[in-house]
Amino acid sequence: MFAVIETGGKQYKVSTGDTLKVEKLGGKAGDAMTLDKVLAVSGDAGMSVGKPYLEGASVKVTLLAESRAKKILVFKMKPRKGFKKLRGHKQYYSLIKIEEIITG
């Protein structure tokens, strides 16, 4: 059984027991959360697709940790103009574990 969920403006294909990094959700490590933006669910009964979301379907997750990713350096330069700019950015993310997929 798997589900396609949407969180943080991105879509993920998840199964029970999976761990994945998503955009920061907020909360503390060990918190239980429910993600209700489920786009599709596939199981023994077949495939169900929402328009755009499935009614009554949800995914229960546990928040394992919240952290920041590796630093991404952005360097801009214009040749022969003397223009150079270096910027750094660390993106926040949440590490979650999929506990249960509820088809509704």
Domain count, the chain: 1
- Which residues lie closer than 8 Å to 23 by C-beta, 6 or more apart? 7, 8, 9, 10, 92, 93, 94
Question: In this structure, what are the phi and psi dihedrals at residue 8, rounded to the nearest 5 degrees?
Answer: 65, 25
pLDDT at residue 45, rounded to an integer: 87
Q: What tens digit of pLDDT does each residue of 23-36 get?
A: 999 999 999 999 99
Q: Find the domain containing 37 and state its range.
A: 2-102
Give the Cβ contact number of residue 35 at 10 Å.
Answer: 20
pLDDT at res. 50: 93
Tell me which residues of the chain have a pLDDT lower than 50. none
Q: What is the pLDDT of residue 104?
A: 74
